[in-house]
């Protein structure tokens, strides 16, 4: 007999968890404080990225962040503020940014990304959501400088060693693969293993499917408190009443740390804000690309081209910093010199909060303190890419099945 399961959080991770749990016969309810039409699951680059094998916590990153701390337009911005949790997270981030820890994380990140890419393809093949964009053109890492080239080739060699399909393109070959727009760059590394999607297309389809199969979706409802008894969550108090469940999945993204404190659980997590600009006119861009020196992503989606990027650590807020939006527009034009993003397009920019752990790996697993609590958060910039894999793993954890991959590295109780 299926369990009564409540998922707190209606982003791609929460909805993917609901998708796989209902397939196993459980009665599922999703609670979200928003109407599930905005946030990180809607404004991301839409990438499926087995190639992104290097965690954000890597050698030199914290030093780079400190250099950019007082430049609010920088790609990696850490707003100076007095916040004890942020200080602790920063210290853990520094401790995690070693070559040895990065090397240990690389195969894990590759495996979970490949699992998720296959699950995305399986969801489309099932017809549950109808048709949606899921292309395997790969991803271009476009570079302008020798330093960026050397950095990416080191990553490419590691990816190739792990069996991922990767190819090097010179300036001429780059023009051949992307012939309809002028690119000012020296060349690119082409990760043929990657794919891309349109998140604003998939999210509504997933929501509708879940409603059709009986999953209860409770929107504009904030979780205020959680009551404990005998090391179990017995009740959830919300802004609209109360609810109980056999199992709780905490997939509330950047808000997960706040809710964890109500359970006396300290989860090291910080909100990293990302921005996006959509351009709905034809641009001639057909290939997803990361513009390396500008630290931003470009994705040809259904009906528009998305320019996305930046990592801003300034706490949980919905402030749109115009200088950061402008930095994306300027950064894009450096690579596509004939492209000019208009003032109107920039004015429609949106942002989303991404939950970031100190070591760049997500928290996926059961609590060791609360018997009926499972964590599913902390995916940083890979939240979209890892949504289905996390959902599948959550369903296996709750059903006490052998997981599709080893999840020790995602242990929510791990030490930094």
Domain ranges of the chain: 4-410
CA distance 70 to 231: 44
Task: Give 156's contacts (C-beta < 8 A, 6+ positions apart).
Answer: 166, 168, 189, 191
Residue 171's pLDDT is: 96
Q: What does residue 402 show for φ and ψ, rounded to 5 degrees?
A: -65, 125
| Better-predicted residue by pLDDT, 313 or 380 | 380
**Considering Cα of 390, then 394, then 395, then 397, what sign does the dihedral take?**
positive
pLDDT digits (tens, 9 = 90+) for 130-157: 999 999 999 999 999 999 999 999 999 9
Model confidence band, residue 66 (pLDDT cutoffs 50, 70, 90):
low
Alpha helices in 50-129 (DSSP H): 61-67, 84-96, 99-126
Q: How confident is the model at residue 70 (pLDDT cuts 50, 70, 90)?
A: low
CA atoms within 13 A on the CB side of 197: 28
pLDDT of residue 258: 94
Q: What is the pLDDT of residues 239-266, one digit of tens each?
A: 999 999 999 999 999 999 999 999 999 9
Nearest Cα residue to 79 out of 313, 371, 378, 311: 313
Sign of torsion over alpha carbons 299, 301, 305, 310: negative
Mean pLDDT of 86-92: 89
Answer yes or no: is pLDDT of 236 > 80: yes
Structure tokens at 354: 């991404």
**Which of 51-60, 89-98, 322-331 is modeled with the greatest confidence?**
322-331
Compute how many other C-beta atoms are within 10 angstroms of the C-beta atom of residue 225: 12
| Cα 352 to Cα 348: distance, rounded to the nearest angstrom | 14
Residue 64 has pLDDT above 90, yes or no: no
4-410 is a CATH 3.50.50.60 domain: yes
pLDDT at res. 137: 96
- DSSP string of 142-211? EESSHHHHHHHHHHHHHHHHTT--EEEEEHHHHHHHSTTS---SSEEEEETT-EEE-HHHHHHHHHHHHH
Q: Is the pLDDT of residue 292 over 90?
A: yes
For residues 177-183, give the mean pLDDT. 96
Is pTM beyond 0.85? Reply is: yes
Question: Which residues, 6+ apart, have CB-to-CB distance to 98 below 8 Å?
Answer: 59
Chain mean pLDDT for the chain: 93
Range scoring the smallest mean pLDDT among 68-77, 225-234, 370-379: 68-77
What pLDDT digit, counting tens, does each position of 92-107 carry?
Answer: 988 998 989 989 999 9
- With vertex at residue 143, the alpha carbon angle to CA 139 and CA 149, rounded to the nearest 5 degrees, is 100
Q: How far apart are CA 381 and CA 357, in angstroms?
A: 11
Residue identified by tokens 């727009």 is 181
Cα dist from 296 to 114, 142, 197, 308, whole Å: 23, 10, 17, 6
Give the number of residues written for the chain. Answer: 416
CA distance 180 to 331: 19
DSSP letter, residue 114:
H
Lowest mean pLDDT among 40-49, 80-89, 181-190: 80-89
Q: Which of 47-61, 243-257, 393-407 has the lowest mean pLDDT?
A: 47-61
- The answer to whether residues 311 and 75 touch, using CB atoms and an 8 Å cutoff, is yes
Q: Does the pLDDT at position 280 exceed 80?
A: yes
The tokens of 86 are what? 């942020």
Predicted pLDDT of residue 62:
62
Residue 360 falls in which region: left (phi positive, over 0), alpha (psi -120 to 50) or beta: left
pLDDT at 242: 94
Give the model's pLDDT for residue 79.
Answer: 76
pLDDT of 76 above 80: no
């Amino acid at each position: 007999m299926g369990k009564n399961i409540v998922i707190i959080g209606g982003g791609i991770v929460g909805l993917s968890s609901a998708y796989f749990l209902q397939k196993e016969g459980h009665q599922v309810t999703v609670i979200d404080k928003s109407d599930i039409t905005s946030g990180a699951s809607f404004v991301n680059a839409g990438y499926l990225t087995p190639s992104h094998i290097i965690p954000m916590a890597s050698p030199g990153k914290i030093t780079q962040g400190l250099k950019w701390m007082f430049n609010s337009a920088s790609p990696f911005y850490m707003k100076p503020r007095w916040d004890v949790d942020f200080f602790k997270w920063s210290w853990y981030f520094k401790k995690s940014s070693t070559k040895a820890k990065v090397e240990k994380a690389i195969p894990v990140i590759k495996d979970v990304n490949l699992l998720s890419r296959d699950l995305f393809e399986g969801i489309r093949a099932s017809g549950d959501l109808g048709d949606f964009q899921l292309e395997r053109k790969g991803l271009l890492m476009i570079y302008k400088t020798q330093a960026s080239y050397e950095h990416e080739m080191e990553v490419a060699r590691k990816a190739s060693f792990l069996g991922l399909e990767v190819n090097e393109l010179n300036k001429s070959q780059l023009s051949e693969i992307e012939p309809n727009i002028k690119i000012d760059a020296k060349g690119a590394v082409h990760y043929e293993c990657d794919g891309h999607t349109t998140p604003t297309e998939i999210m509504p389809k997933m929501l509708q499917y879940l409603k059709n199969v009986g999953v209860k979706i409770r929107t504009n409802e904030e979780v205020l408190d959680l009551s404990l008894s005998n090391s179990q969550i017995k009740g959830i108090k919300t802004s609209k009443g109360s609810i109980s469940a056999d199992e709780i999945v905490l997939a509330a993204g950047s808000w997960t740390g706040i809710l964890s404190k109500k359970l006396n659980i300290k989860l090291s997590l910080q909100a990293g804000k990302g921005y996006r600009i959509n351009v709905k006119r034809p641009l001639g861009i057909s290939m997803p690309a990361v513009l390396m020196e500008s630290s931003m992503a470009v994705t040809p989606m259904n009906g528009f081209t998305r320019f996305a990027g930046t990592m801003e650590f300034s706490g949980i807020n919905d402030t749109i910093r115009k200088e950061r939006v402008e930095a994306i527009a300027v950064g894009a034009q450096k690579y596509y010199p004939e492209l000019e993003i208009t003032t109107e397009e920039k004015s429609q920019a949106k942002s989303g909060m991404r939950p970031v752990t100190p070591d760049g790996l997500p928290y996926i697993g059961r609590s060791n303190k609360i018997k009926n609590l499972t964590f599913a958060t902390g995916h940083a910039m890979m939240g979209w890419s890892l949504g289905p894999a996390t959902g599948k793993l959550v369903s296996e954890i709750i059903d006490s099945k052998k997981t599709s991959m080893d999840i020790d590295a995602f242990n929510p109780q791990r030490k930094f």
